[in-house]
Structure 1
Amino acid sequence: MATTASDKISTLKSAVAGLNQISENEKNGFINLVSRYLSGEAQHVEWSKIQTPTDEVVVPYDSLAPLPDDSSEVKNLLDKLVVLKLNGGLGTTMGCTGPKSVIEVRDGLTFLDLIVIQIENLNNKYGSNVPLLLMNSFNTHDDTQKIVEKYTNSNVEIHTFNQSQYPRLVVDDFLPLPSKGQTGKDGWYPPGHGDVFPSLLNSGKLDALLSKGKEYVFVANSDNLGAIVDLKILNHLIQNKNEYCMEVTPKTLADVKGGTLISYEGRVQLLEIAQVPDEHVNEFKSIEKFKIFNTNNLWVNLKAVKRLVETDALKMEIIPNPKEVDGVKVLQLETAAGAAIRFFDKAIGSNVPRSRFLPVKATSDLLLVQSDLYTLQDGFVARNSARANPENPSIELGPEFKKVSNFLSRFKSIPSIIELDNLKVAGDIWFGAGVTLKGKVSIVAKPGAKLEIPDGAVIANKEINGPEDL
């Protein structure tokens, strides 16, 4: 006889009850998530009901209310703010072992250094006390605790808390992997950044912030260098009593898979590619109909978070993420913070400049931000005005450059790329110092051959396959 969903849940409950590594809150949150998943309450969007949001719903950045001139009023704004960086990710895709936020981005400074410098500058300038919260996962917690000690003398209060730790589910029988003898870290997973809201409450941080008069949290990925505090957005939300704001930015062909904002049955909501019926996927990816995408820079009212978490109202779409551990097929159920937008009152998007979205996901992104295409000022990485083309160059680096350590060792210095449009590098290639790349450049070494680009070389609109082409 087939087991029903409720049979599965009751068996799961007794198995989870025996997992003493996690709290009661985590056990309940996990059971709740799995129950929702098994009940099949998947959000299917009726395509015909989708409407393009108006400027009232996705507010153009230029039409946000201007900032007060008085610096004491700016200080009042800042005293209501908390900055929260999502710090649960490891730098594994870039060949690093610790938290991604401690990869050196520029001038010997890490993501975390830059974030602290930015907030410190704000606090020094306005005499405010904007604290920094880091949401870690069990993967990044220990390392982060050690790293933040170096900021003890900075003018920024730093708080850390952990997001939930959930057991991976074995696909065959829907039992938790840790209850089957998988006692190491591989038995567990952090359930996506949608977990930021319950974790803020469960950690006690939310009540502590509210008691200090904090009203809004600015949430962003720790690897997005463009996600700095924007007072215009904060001021607009406070004036208009918007409980939630998602920063969106115009979509380019590189962002076709990113979630977008739609108006749906009278509310603003995030539409992710996973929710799109197959026959509409091409339409979703086009930049004609859906012109904006989610940067995952989110501004959220803290009282509203408390209200919604306590009433268990944040039923974000569940993202099933299948994995394999030691040959066993497992399932991770996750949620995304952007999907919470439809539960908040007077939620809006703001169509911000592209400069607020500068994520570093791979060494090709690192090449961009370490080059002369950007300048560093007050902890903020800004586009060099000498570049005429508004788009960044497209860069494709071969597997030899995938790990940060390999990437750094293959460049004596990062080339000048202000006039570069397109770069493809593959094979055993080593760059000398002071190289300049312009236009369309392809440097592909023949298999087994080593190719060294000499110091000071200027390569413009060229294809290079061997020393004879230099």
Structure 2
Amino acid sequence: ESAQCPPDEEAAFQDIQLYRYFNTNNLWINLRVLAEILAERSGVLGLPLIRNEKPVDPAKPSTPRVYQLETAMGAALAVIDGAQALRVPRSRFVPVKKNSDLLVLMSDAYDLREDFGLQLAADRAGAPPVVTLDDRYYLLYDAMTARFPHGAPSLRRCDALTVKGEVVFGRDIVVEGRVVVENDGDGALRLADGSRLRA
């Protein structure tokens, strides 16, 4: 977990040539074995504690800083005898850490399968679009959806979308290629319904 990485090792931690495998946050647990382990350990698995510093109110970054204490279930690999990691295809790794990741999943870059799973559209050739949204305006879910009131734009043919400043997306907007939308002015830039953004 990034919160466990010492600051002086962050560059190496994020080097995908050095660390080629990622945690997909999929856990397969034999519940009978887990029950036995918990019974042996008085109900405590003994996972390492993670201290994560953040503002007490994420909607107001200026609020006092607090520590959120958490554990990472992936650490169970080290504390459960016989635990194993499985190598799965890249298609199984679809992290949603920020609203920019969620926007991609909400878009037509992904198809809804019959079993209600999401799958990257076949014509994307295995590569999802890279979206970067300005945290000043899109960090919180309600703030993001207020600026995408008609849902996500079409990202089917988008390689990358970067939004800087406050931008409100109209209905049926299509993004193609590598697009940067920037608003340096006061107030929101409103993109008209049906706009095609290309680069």
TM over 0.5: yes
Shift of 1:297: 1.0
Amino acid of the residue matched to residue 288 of structure 1? Q
Shift of 1:332: 5.2
| Residue 346, structure 1, aligned to residue 82, structure 2 | yes
Of the three residues 86, 100, 114, the one matched with 1:364 is 100
Kept in 1: contact 2:137–2:143 (CA 8 A):
yes
Alignment correspondent of 1:305: 34
- Equivalent position SS for 2:27: strand
Of the three residues 49, 72, 95, the one matched with 1:318 is 49
Q: CA deviation digits over 1:3-54, x for unaligned, max 9?
A: xxxxxxxxxxxxxxxxxxxxxxxxxxxxxxxxxxxxxxxxxxxxxxxxxxxx
Distance in structure 1 (CA, Å) of the matches to 2:78 and 2:39: 17
- Equivalent position SS for 1:438: strand
Kept in 2: contact 1:273–1:281 (CA 8 A):
no
| Residue 456, structure 1, aligned to residue 187, structure 2 | no
Distance in structure 1 (CA, Å) of the matches to 2:28 and 2:192: 48
Alignment correspondent of 1:290: 19
Amino acid of the residue matched to residue 367 of structure 1? L
Kept in 1: contact 2:109–2:155 (CA 8 A):
yes
Q: Structure 1's 335 and 441: CA in aligned 2 closer, same or farther, altered over 3 A? A: same
Of the three residues 371, 377, 380, the one matched with 2:117 is 380
Alignment correspondent of 1:334: 70
Q: Structure 1's 376 and 322: CA in aligned 2 closer, same or farther, altered over 3 A? A: closer
Shift of 1:426: 2.6
Q: Structure 1's 451 and 336: CA in aligned 2 closer, same or farther, altered over 3 A? A: closer
| Residue 421, structure 1, aligned to residue 151, structure 2 | no
| Residue 445, structure 1, aligned to residue 174, structure 2 | no
Q: Structure 1's 353 and 453: CA in aligned 2 closer, same or farther, altered over 3 A? A: same
Shift of 1:374: 1.0
Kept in 1: contact 2:129–2:159 (CA 8 A):
yes
TM-score, normalisation: structure 2 = 0.77
Q: Structure 1's 408 and 314: CA in aligned 2 closer, same or farther, altered over 3 A? A: closer
Kept in 2: contact 1:273–1:284 (CA 8 A):
no
Gaps of 5+ in 1: 1-258, 260-271, 462-470
Alignment correspondent of 2:60: none
Kept in 2: contact 1:440–1:460 (CA 8 A):
yes
Q: Structure 1's 333 and 446: CA in aligned 2 closer, same or farther, altered over 3 A? A: closer
Identity %: 35
| Residue 433, structure 1, aligned to residue 162, structure 2 | no
TM-score, normalisation: structure 1 = 0.36
Distance in structure 2 (CA, Å) of the matches to 1:369 and 1:306: 35
Of the three residues 401, 405, 408, the one matched with 2:142 is 405
Kept in 2: contact 1:363–1:401 (CA 8 A):
yes
Shift of 1:339: 0.9
Alignment correspondent of 2:59: none
- Equivalent position SS for 2:159: strand
Q: Structure 1's 318 and 405: CA in aligned 2 closer, same or farther, altered over 3 A? A: closer
Q: Structure 1's 437 and 275: CA in aligned 2 closer, same or farther, altered over 3 A? A: closer
